[in-house]
Chain A
Amino acid sequence: MTAAPVDIELARSFGLKDDEYETVLNIMGRTPSLTELGIFSVMWSEHCSYKSSRLHLKTLPTKAPWVIHGPGENAGVIDIGEGLAAVFKMESHNHPSFIEPYQGAATGVGGILRDVFTMGARPIANLNALRFGDPSHKDTKRVVDGVVRGIGGYGNCMGVPTVGGEVNFHSSYNCNPLVNAMTVGLARQDRIFLSAAAGVGNPVVYVGSKTGRDGIHGATMSSAEFDSESSSKRPTVQVGDPFTEKLLLEACLELMATDAVISIQDMGAAGLTSSAVEMASKGGVGIDLDLDHVPQREANMQAYEMMLSESQERMLMVLRPDRTEAARKIFEKWELDFAIVGKLTDSGRITVRHNGKVEADIPLGPLADEAPIYDRPTMKYERQPALVPPADPCGVEKGLLRLLSSANGASRAWIWNQYDSGVGGQTVQRPGGADAAIVRVEGTDRGLAMTTDCTPRYGQADPYIGGAQAVLEVWRNLTATGAKPLAMTDNLNFASPENPRIMTQFVEAVKGIGDAGRALDFPVVSGNVSLYNETRGDDGSVTAIQPAPVIGGVGVLEDVQKAVGLAMPQDGELLLVGETKGELGQSMWLKEILGREEGAPPAVDFAAERQNGDFVREQIQKGAVEACHDVADGGLIVALAEMAMAGNVGCSLEKGPDALPEHVFWFAEDQARYVLATKQADAVVKAAQAAGVPVRRLGRAGGNALKLGDMAVPVQHLRKQHASFFPRFMGKQEDDAPVVHLDELP
């Protein structure tokens, strides 16, 4: 490449603001070199520096007696008993997944896997949270297809089961889908590896794939909004190689079983730059890199390109000098590159040499300490007034079938049937079997429950509730399996923080997450922020995504045998735990049946949530519960239908309470509710009453139809409707499951 002059113009094109460039000049005391400017621009990008979000993230609860490492490391680490730790985090790969869906999603999975095994953990499960545009938008099918193939392609090859996830469609994601990937790993508590470098003179070692020109400035791209030029940024999307990552995983774990590793950091966003800077800064040391030794895939790469490349499947490590050769042998066995590319110094600087010339020499202190931080303006958020419940145009049966065959209510089996959910041989609950996935902890009787969730339409109407409700639903999903929820990871997807309305969404959502987490002793141990998720149209108009503060949660079951799923049993009584006031605002029913996205979302009540959840968990642990499902999108009738479809068993329901119109009772999305199937209904009801927990008898499990009054829908018919959307949408017609069209409604 030709050397462009380093000036304010170039700095702007690298994404630096004018005053940020001013600070760079002050720190350096001279005009920076191209490589130096590149390093500053990626380290100070929103993606790497969290400059708009940091002030607010600090308010989140991050501590609990079982938290071993909270935010700040590659992933969060929690104590799950027996000397073992769960290591987990979620991360987004949104922008690349629109430009190049397969590679965008695949490398998203690859990146989060590395974050987890960097810490010494073997990944035991992958999950995801996906948001796609309206199914009728021209790009949606292409994006769904590529993203699903990409997630499967990477995870399946790695041999890490993809056990859970969630998917929604909304027009605000038409040109800005969300791909959030979560990995959960398992490690011994006494063998956790961190990134802080130590030991002046110790070798800095590069392992994994060679460095190419892919992904240069990826971190900067993901810190800017989208426009019609974005697809020309395809070269900034990285290309994944899951086979190499599998080798890297096995080689790293083999090396970590020795005492060779002092510190280790994967090369993710901003590649060699951010890994080297982070390791040295955290360790309070300097670092010298000689790029001549970096394994290179392409000829004549410049220092700037090597420092900013986001080539995948690479790690940087500091090793004990006397173990370096033993380490080299392990990587040779796995046929991976292994190169000593530098050493730690006491200079407090990062110095980069290439072809005998110093290409960058930056003091690490100011690079970190003088990184920009913004307290961006917010405003009063205009919340939607409570909804006046509209009349029911179609009846419960039609409404139910319509919801089950809608994009957002349909079975996701088409997706998860492309993900290997059983590899590893520990999967207890596969997708669709329970409210949370359950994976046994190898060699123990324990199980980990894990899930992801978020309801963006709630957050759009009330960002505080959006943040809090995501936490509550995750906590509830873990609870519904019988697990004790331990901690969460958050992935905060928002539009431009420079817009006060969006910044308000962010601040309120973080408040909601924090309050919910504190109320439930459910701390945030890791996370990721993805901003600028918006699209600028050719006419200059901006489409912001519905805010998506996605939460991933992990819980533990001391005895995995006690876990319950959601499948309707052949027999038993059905109970509703929790109160139904009739919240139809922002409900799925309102959107799908009346085409309205209106009203206040359901209220959150932390005390009720905790009380009801603790009660349900206790009943499951006692063995009183056959199946359990939380009530969420679509309300009670959808929850019951989902149980029936999962178990292939029907149920006979009694009429709702007189105080509420029938459709309000069955479709309302009031929070803190669970359906229990039990053979000990009297005892459970008595215990609930004693604990002050609202409980209501709904009917009985059994038969082969879902019956309510005059309505009797065969479970087979429900299943057919539920399974119809994806094959039809993705281009394969299911034989005889017609769409329930709105115009067929009376």
Chain B
Amino acid sequence: MNNLNAITTDFTAKQQPDKNAWLQTIRDAASERLTSLQLPTKKTEDWKYLKLEKLLASEPIDTESIKDLEAKSVNDINQLLAQSLISSLDAYRLVFVNGVFVSELSQHNNNPYSVLFSEASAAQQELIVAHLDTSHNYYHDYFSSLNSEQFEDGLLIHIPMDCHVEKPFYIVNLTLGEQPKTHMMRVLVVAETGSNATIIEHEDAPLKHTGMVNTVIECFVNDQAKITHSRIQLDESVTSICSHRVQQGRDSIYQQHQISLGAKLKRNDLTVSLQGEHAKTDIRASFYARDQQTIDNHTCLEHIVPNCTSNEVFRGLVDNEANAVFNGRIHIHPDAQKTLAELSNKNLLLSDLATINTKPELEIYADDVRCSHGATVGQIDSEALFYLQSRGISKVEAKRLLSMAFIAEIVGQLTEKSVQEFVTQRLSSLFSSLQYEGEK
């Protein structure tokens, strides 16, 4: 319980005074919610598989590395960090370090679409206030409310009507140094009617420093708009809780591709509410958890109006003593006739001590719908393993290749080639550094 108390204190400790006073109503509402919301416990259905105590279990601090870092000049540090970015990606690059925007690492010339909350114009402030926290129609949870109460600054991406933004937005959040507090990362995307944009989010910890991040992303995809969203979570050393909410209008398309590595604790919540007819949602995700990592994925598709389509594919690879959770809910509201919703979750357990908990859920209140879900848990196909072995590849190497291949299918669907290459390279170097049983 001490740890839990510590988490609460840590999370709720008031952060520095707020420059953005115009956000006060939103913060007050969040504070108000927090009086009734509880820090989730094992009895909270949605959090039952997560050991929140793990959040604060102390980890060895890499003092050497931090000393090293402190000795460096800002320029040197930036150069070091720049190496972890996808440099070949031609994009509006927006880099945050520990949740703070770093202009030197960013490339945002001629970018009329994004602005920090702290630099927002009156009109932008109005837009932010009109949207922030309004996508939480279905439920408010503890951590996102904390974020609303305490985030220091946020990023707004606003795509005007009918505007097709050619360059992707590349949002990077790097964790660096031993952090005594939790960073609150806040992103708001408003895609106006008929607009089209690609967003790539990249979370990383280049020096494998530990830290805690509480992220809230809200994404409003208005009528006929299209957002392609890639999320690459490579920050294995960072404890992170992320709440991601999407609201879709008529004929809109929202695509998400997600590649996640596990962490001491990683929690991803994704809620998509389809609020306009003929909206389409497409989610492709893959995660890999190893050692004593925990990854907890919760997705919820709220089909509120008729004639919408959603398709979700989630693949999990769980190794060593890792614990992974997938909970995918499809909720068909009474008016949502003619919905087509599909969900598929496939998992491979790579070790005797790994655990997967999967729960695909259907909650259906309309009759003329076609919904299905499937979930499987198994191990690497022994036929395939044997085939590779018979071609002279060691069992360990074969296992590595097939694990890689299992994730690669999702990686291959990332829309930007340079991102694909970057992820593939990172994953293969991760996999080749792993030692498997029986391997010396």
Judge: A and B partners, yes or no. Answer: no
Residues of B within 8 A of A (CB): none
Residues of A within 8 A of B (CB): none
